[in-house]
């Protein structure tokens, strides 16, 4: 397949989304990114070299089906079609017991991580079925395979639900020419990761040892993910950076390898970029 494909990356203004957008551009794709505000779009486009014949952006609240449809329409108007849709946009919350999490925050994470992907999948499926081809990727995260950790109830629940949704949609798309798959980045140093610990500095100090063994940077992970996405056309595929075998190998050899400090100078209260604003 030609690498001159049209790719939509939701939440492509920073973190893994921006990294994916950059790697798709390097490989000759035409890319549309989304963000929650015009200022975030402007920053995201600037970081990727500016709006051009191969790069555009659209403001979108992914909890709104109409606004997500607007992203599809924008990408088609700019590039003629959408070949790949990556549901990357997501959010996390500081780790807290469920009763301590405000109801508004729970609604927000469900709207972003779950309703937003419902909308992305629905819009992309409709458009790709009409054009006869395409591939949709849903982003996995902690909880996708049933892992559980105190303080991650709302986030993990949304990711577990998306795992089920993706399985269902793989069945619905069987034999249609449109594919659906899982994209698993592993533990990546982004605002989404460190924000979990903004209210618990002691726990942050504890988990850094594990994260330094298993974690990676956006620049390390996204080239692999982008290559996997572009090479895949089989419905039901999974592109995973941190496999079970790789994780076990890292733990087994941790004592023999040079220690890493992926979080040097990072304060969870400020985020990786120094700001947690969208």
CATH code for the domain in which residue 169 is found: 3.40.50.720
pLDDT at 200: 62
Burial of 257 (0-12, 13-18, 19+ CB in 10 A): exposed
- pLDDT, one tens digit per residue, over 259-277 is 666 666 555 555 554 322 2
Domain assignment present for residue 26? The answer is yes
Give every strand in the sheet of 6-9, ordered side by side.
55-59, 30-35, 6-9, 84-87, 134-139, 178-184, 238-240
- pLDDT, one tens digit per residue, over 38-92 is 999 999 999 999 999 999 999 999 999 999 999 999 999 999 999 999 999 999 9
* CA distances to 118, 176, 181, 216 from 69, in Å: 12, 21, 21, 33
pLDDT at 136: 99
Number of domains in the chain: 1
CB 31, CB 54: distance < 8 Å: yes
Domain assignment present for residue 112? The answer is yes
Domain assignment present for residue 253? The answer is no
Domain assignment present for residue 256? The answer is no
Q: Is 33 helix (H, G, I), strand (E, B) or coil?
A: strand
Domain assignment present for residue 176? The answer is yes
Residues taking part in catalysis: 155
Range of the domain at 110: 6-191+218-247
Domain assignment present for residue 275? The answer is no
Domain assignment present for residue 262? The answer is no
Other Cβ atoms within 10 Å of 141 Cβ, number? 23
Q: How confident is the model at residue 228 (pLDDT cuts 50, 70, 90)?
A: very high
- Highest mean pLDDT among 119-128, 209-218, 261-270 belongs to 119-128
pLDDT at 142: 87
Dihedral, 105, 155, 124, 28 alpha carbons, nearest 10: 110
Domain assignment present for residue 69? The answer is yes
CB 49, CB 22: distance < 8 Å: no
- pLDDT, one tens digit per residue, over 3-49 is 799 999 999 999 999 999 999 999 999 999 999 999 999 999 999 99
Q: Is 55 helix (H, G, I), strand (E, B) or coil?
A: strand
Q: Which residue has the tokens 């639900």?
A: 161
pLDDT at 155: 94
């Amino acid at each position: 397949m030609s690498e001159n494909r049209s790719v939509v990356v939701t939440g492509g203004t920073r973190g893994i989304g921006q990294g994916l957008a950059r790697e798709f551009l390097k490989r000759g794709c035409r890319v549309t990114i989304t963000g929650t505000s015009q200022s975030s779009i402007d920053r995201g486009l600037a970081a990727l070299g500016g709006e051009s014949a191969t790069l555009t952006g659209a403001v979108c609240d992914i909890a709104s089906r109409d606004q997500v449809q607007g992203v599809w329409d924008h990408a088609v108007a700019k590039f003629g079609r959408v070949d790949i849709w990556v549901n990357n946009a997501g959010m996390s919350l500081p780790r807290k017991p469920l009763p301590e999490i405000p109801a508004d925050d729970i609604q927000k994470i469900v709207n972003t991580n779950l309703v937003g992907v419902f909308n992305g999948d629905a819009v992309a499926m409709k458009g790709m079925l009409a054009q006869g081809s395409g591939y949709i990727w849903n982003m996995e995260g902690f909880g996708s395979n049933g892992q559980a950790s105190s303080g991650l109830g709302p986030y993990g629940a949304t990711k577990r639900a998306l795992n089920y949704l993706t399985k269902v949609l793989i069945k619905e798309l069987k034999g249609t020419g449109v594919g659906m798959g899982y994209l698993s980045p592993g533990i990546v140093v982004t605002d989404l990761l460190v924000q979990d610990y903004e209210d618990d500095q002691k726990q942050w100090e504890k988990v850094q040892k594990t994260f330094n063994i298993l974690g990676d940077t956006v620049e390390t992970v996204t080239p692999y993910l982008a290559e996997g996405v572009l090479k895949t056309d089989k419905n039901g595929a999974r592109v995973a950076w941190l496999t079970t075998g790789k994780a076990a190998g890292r733990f087994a050899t941790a004592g023999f390898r040079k220690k890493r400090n992926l979080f040097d100078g990072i304060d969870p209260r400020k985020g990786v970029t120094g700001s947690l604003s969208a």
